[in-house]
Amino acid sequence: MTSRKELNYIIIVTLFLTFLPVLGFSQVSMTGEFRPRTEFRDGYRILNTQQSDPAFFTSQRTRLSLLFKQDLYDLKISAQDIRTWGEVVQLGDTPNVNIHEAWAQLYPSDKIGLKIGRQELVYDDQRLLGSVNWVQQARSHDALVFKYDDPASKFKFDVGAAYNQEAENLQGNQYSLNNYKILSYVWVHKELGKVNISGLVLTDGFEVQPGIINYRYTYGTHITLNATENLNAAGTFYLQNGDDATRKDISAYMAALKVNYRVKSVLFTGGIDYLSGGKAGDSNPDQNTFNTLYATNHKFYGNMDYFLDIPNETQNGGLQDIYMGINYSRSTNLNLNAVYHHFSLVNKIQDPMNTAGSLKRALASEIDFSASYKLSNEVRIQAGYSLLFDKQSLESIQNRVANGLQQWGWVMLVINPKLL
């Protein structure tokens, strides 16, 4: 049975569509997305053991987005249905539609905007704030964002804030969901010729007891350099301190460097990511472990997603990722990509399966292959295959004895029609 909240959203969208002729079609755009993805998981995220069986399934995202633009404001509503084929009983009445985005952006002047509502927060290369678009449901936030953008001086900054509640309380502000209670940030961006510089200061607070909130602070910079038409580089550095829901007195950092070089249709990529961590003998190794917050980690740390939650999935040992890749593009239709990753801990940590010993730093090597073919401006077919070669340390961290090949394959159809 459709919930009252979902029914209200359906009514709003229906009324909006009904009055489209009055609003004027030139100000309205409607887009859709149909995205089924079939996966074969045989070592994805967790190591295969002798008792493991592969998983095979198809998931699907169906999304409808409506954007209305005026001089004074923009309004967007994006509804989506996320499902795994077969998860719903046939003839059952199981509501599954949710609102991914529902926001309005007001424009007091040409340079100033105020964005209010459920929205994606995406900044720079999505290393700390990203949409996580690979995941079918993707990520969005209920937030208010003040925006300033001056194209003439190539300068812009955003100030964002969110305060979460799980109900319309009559009294009190207790929050028990596994989200931040409070989020605030300032993002500044400036273009200086061939160099783009961004700065981000982010605070997120977690309610650890009723009325008691621990705050974590993350701040740093992201710099890109377009040296020549064929050569560019990007560098990132962030510090992290404060507390969160599980750690106190955090003192951590991350650094990353990436270089791209193009030769005609071939793009070569190489780089290193370094996320600080604790080491064997530390009384509180978690204090020195960097957390990547609300990032799109699938984009950075291997397609098989063994390191989405860096503190937990490396037992607070941090992460070093050295990678190199090659990308081939033929015209604008075909794209082939291969990337090699070598993952290791930044320090030796205590062996969770043997308290008297410590783990070696090497965790695993991964090779990711992917391909994309564009049938038209609205239709693409994508596919990928990945292999992971684990080391003993990863087996100890996961408390699993690996057996056989660690592999993962997928095929995805993406249709993005422009309906209006």
Write out pLDDT tens, residues 359-407: 999 999 999 999 999 999 999 999 999 999 999 999 999 999 999 899 9
Write out pLDDT tens, residues 242-258: 999 888 999 999 999 99
Indicate the pLDDT class of residue 284, thresholds 50, 70 and 90: confident
CATH class of the region 4-167+176-415 = mainly beta
Rounded to whole angstroms, the Cα distance separating 164 from 181 reads: 5
Strands 195-209 and 182-192, by their bridges, are antiparallel
If phi > 0 it is left, if psi is from -120 to 50 it is alpha, else beta; for residue 411 that is: beta
pLDDT mean across residues, the chain: 92
Q: Enumerate residues 6+ apart whose C-beta is below 8 A from 164.
A: 142, 175, 177, 179, 180, 181, 182
Write out pLDDT tens, residues 348-371: 988 887 766 789 999 999 999 999
Rounded to whole angstroms, the Cα distance separating 389 from 407 reads: 9
Q: For residue 414, is pLDDT > 80?
A: yes
Rounded to whole angstroms, the Cα distance separating 310 from 322 reads: 16
- Position 330 scores a pLDDT of 84
* pTM of this prediction exceeds 0.85: yes
What does the domain layout of the chain look like in residue ranges?
A: 4-167+176-415
Q: How many CA atoms lie within 13 A of 134 on its CB side?
A: 19
Write out pLDDT tens, residues 59-113: 999 999 999 999 899 999 999 999 999 998 888 877 788 999 999 999 999 999 9
- Position 277 scores a pLDDT of 94
